[in-house]
A and B are shown apart, each in its own frame.
Chain A
Amino acid sequence: MGGVTDPSPPEHAALSLRKLWKRFGDKVAVAGVDLDVPAGSFFGLVGPNGAGKTTLLSMATGLLRPDAGTAHVLGTDLWAHPDEVRARLGVLPDGVRLFDRLTGAQLLTYAGLLRGLDRATVAERTEDLLHAMDLAGDRDTFVVDYSAGMTKKIALASAMIHAPRVLVLDEPFEAVDPISAANIRDILHVYVADGGTVVVSSHVMDLVQRMCSHVAIIAGGRLLATGTTDEVRAGQSLEDRFVALVGGRRDSEGLAWLRSSSASS
């Protein structure tokens, strides 16, 4: 079981965070997190709402400058050499818009060209990704008219177009239908089998337990546990272990006035 980490980032870590802090006004969103994601792992980051998952991942991917601490991606300091790191990193941020007046194919092309790929490569990978995400039929539809799940898939595709070595995906399965989610999981498993590293955040414990080789639990901006999934859950289901660590389950009768039998204001 983790919790004790080296002060220096290990060589084999795909992602290595040291003493990351972020404060928004009076609220400390991330309070000194140390975390190592081994290369070649399928890493799940779980935590309750407001735990600081998105803030942590934003700081680990160059979208949000930390107040203190470092983030190394494949051994390179992200905030010292952002452009070198970004070429090897694919990011799916949560809660941001897309350039949704573009069609699906245009958005992928845009992401590919921004990454500096040549036209032929972009065209080929756009085609492959549209097929892999079941979006080939909607290639010429504006992204603004996509459903939530399709939007998630096209965003995921644009995070992968430059063949990064590390993929950081914030809530990748939210609003995605079960078939597409299974297809995406297959793609990610193949990617990991070929030596890539995937970090996903989620609060669907079953999914993380089935899918991830490693897991970290954070709450209140602090790391509560990290290690292989089997180490962390210690014989329990991940969900039970999570609830035991995070706490906050209410053992009460619930909202009495909400029951339909007592239906009066």
Chain B
Amino acid sequence: MVAQLVRLKLTLLANTFRRSVWQTIGLVVASLYGLSILFLAVTAAVAGGTLAPAVTGQVLTVVGALLVLSWWVVPLFAFGIDATLDPLRFATFAIPRRHLLAGLAVAGVISVPGLVTALGAVGVSFAWWRHPAALLAALLGAVCAVALCIVGSRALTTSLAPLLDTRRSREVLAVAAIVPLLLIGPVIGWLGDNVEKTVDGAAVTVSVDAAPAEAVGAVVGPLASVVAWTPFGAPWAFASAVHDGAWALLAARAAIALGSLAVLWWVWDRALARALVTPRGGGAAGVGKGLGWFDRFPATPTGAVAARSATYWLRDPRYAASIAVVPLLPVLMLVVGTTSGAGTALLLLVAPAVAWILGFGISNDVGYDNTAFALHVATGTPGRADRWGRAIPVAAVGVPLTVAFAVVACAVTGTWSLLPPLLGVTLGMLGTSLGVSSAVSGRLVYPVPRPGESPFKTPKGATVATLVAQMVAVAIVLVVLLPTLALAGAGILLPAPGASWAALPVGLATGAVALLGGVRWGARVYDGRRPELLQQVMAFG
């Protein structure tokens, strides 16, 4: 079974190369990115291990723990789990669950992040190349850590999936998401002055051979000694224990790592057992009242599309998931700001960030429609109506919301002089990102979770495509916004009140022109290739 599932996963991965040039490019970019990170990490670890093994061991423990933690948590909030081997697809095959579980676990390594993690874990073990016993322990720890990554992420997503499918649980999720985010603050604060070095893992690893080992050790040491007692850090700390000859410590850490693995395995097994006999959907039929938004928008094709979009933003969990981060942003910025010493100033970033998130939210709207888009094709809905209808509800909510964020941020920080440039950048960002989204979504469509599926499920090839689409969109938006940003930047940093004030009209004009131009261009593209768009979404299945 293990061999079969691994072969299936390899075939699926190979088929993504044959599927489309777009996905091939994405996969190649992702692989290159992964390989470069890998190379950096292994080089740094081996160099560090040669110079100062003890400190390197501590750093590896902390970075490794972060890695395991992100494997567990990130899929819940950001990308969802790789759905290529959805266990439900095997429900009718009468495969003994033990075999299925083992197969899924091993096949879980076969993906770009999985392979990078596995190779990285094994690679950094060679930091201990001067101490064969420690090297052996590090390699065993690496295997254990990779297993923890995969089994942990599957256990969490599988057991939480039924919970997250329902609408009510979205609120629960939003609350739950705050917890890990809030933890970042205290951890950073606890590390005191050396914040920069610990903010991201790469910086720590690279700085080992540059900075004096003692300084790094003083920062990371206490953290590592705590983290090594958690399931996240324990497997990475096997080698340190062997190196120090602390056999009792090694036994304790091995017990923690293997014990957690066993518990997670059991959780996953239970969750899978339940998932396999619980069909998707179910539950009581939902009932709406009257025509809702269709009564409130004008009775035109544009108004109809706007009413439909508004209904979906409120009723479809996939949309809610895409903006779930909005209410958390101010909290996050406050926590990071106060613990890092930047104070409340980071709050000023919330308004433009929210504007960007809202604008990007409709950049793949046809993908979200899936094949229901056939209705727009069959009815001959004009591109103008389609584009404006999707943009208007977002703009109608976005303008007051982002203005409110900007005003509150200025009030809290007491920097009213920053309000004009901030408003310019924020509204410019909203208009530009909406315009770019409207233009792009007539051309680029990529797979997203299908209607009714968990918003945390990621279709094959979607992660990379989303990232590339986001990067391209960010680049375009930034280029368009450059004059506004330059004026605002000059106004704030020099400081030059004239430039500050100029940023407001320039931002407003940029946003308005970008929105009008983007919608017009998007509408023309859309009108020319409605059937092709439909075929693209039909290919997603």
Contact = CB atoms under 8 A, between A and B. Distances in A.
Contacts of A106: 288, 291-292, 294, 311
A142 B286 contact: yes
Contacts of B300: 113, 116
B17 to A, nearest CB: 16
A140 B531 contact: no
B458 to A, nearest CB: 19
A99 B288 contact: no
Interface string B4-38: 00000000000000000000000000000000000
A99 B372 contact: yes
B378 A82 contact: no
B503 to A, nearest CB: 40
A87 B380 CA distance: 8
Contacts of A158: 375
A106 B312 CA distance: 12
Interface string B295-322: 0000111011101100110011000000
Contacts of B315: 101
A110 B308 contact: yes
B52 interface: no
A109 B294 contact: yes
A101 B286 CA distance: 9
Given A103-B288, A114-B304, A98 B294 contact: no
Contacts of A253: none
A101 B380 contact: no
A118 interface: yes
B374 interface: yes
A163 B223 CA distance: 72
How many chain B residues sit at the interface, stated as a range, is 35 or more
Nearest to B297: A113
B286 A93 contact: no
Interface in B493-541: 530-532, 534-535, 538
B125 interface: no
Interface in A178-235: none
B299 A118 contact: yes
Contacts of B381: 114
Nearest to B374: A96
- Interface secondary structure of B, over-half rule: helix
**Chain A interface size range:** 35 or more
Contacts of A64: 531, 534-535
A101 B291 contact: no
A65 B374 contact: no
A96 B304 contact: no
Interface in B309-357: 311-312, 315-316
Contact of B291 (A93, A99, A109, A159): A109
Contacts of B94: none
Given A99-B308, A119-B299, A111 B379 contact: yes
Contact of A140 (B287, B299, B376): B287
B291 A141 contact: no
A116 to B, nearest CB: 6
Contact of B372 (A61, A91, A98): A98
Nearest to A95: B371
Nearest to A122: B299
Interface string A108-150: 0111011110110010000000000000000011101100000
Contacts of A95: 371
B426 to A, nearest CB: 30
Contact of B288 (A63, A93, A119, A140): A140
A254 to B, nearest CB: 23
A31 interface: no
B316 A101 contact: yes
Contacts of A100: 372, 451-452
B22 to A, nearest CB: 17
Contact of A62 (B382, B531, B535): B531
B369 interface: yes
A97 interface: yes
Contact of B294 (A65, A96, A110, A140): A110
Contact of A114 (B287, B289, B305, B538): B305
Contacts of A115: 301, 379
Give the residue among B303, B308, B369 with the most A Cβ atoms within 10 A. B308
Interface in A74-99: 82-83, 86-87, 91, 93, 95-99
A61 B378 contact: yes
B370 interface: yes
Greatest chain B CB density within 10 A among A96, A101, A103, A122 is at A101
A151 B287 CA distance: 15
Contacts of A159: 378
Nearest to A102: B311
B534 A63 contact: yes
Interface in B372-421: 372, 374-382, 385
B212 interface: no
A105 interface: yes
B290 interface: yes
B175 interface: no
Interface of A: 61-65, 82-83, 86-87, 91, 93, 95-103, 105-106, 109-111, 113-116, 118-119, 122, 140-142, 144-145, 158-159, 162
10 contacts: A93-B378, A95-B371, A96-B372, A97-B370, A102-B308, A106-B291, A111-B379, A113-B303, A142-B285, A142-B287
User: Which 7 residue pairs spanning A and B have beta carbons closest together?
Assistant: A113-B304, A86-B380, A145-B285, A119-B299, A96-B371, A96-B374, A114-B379
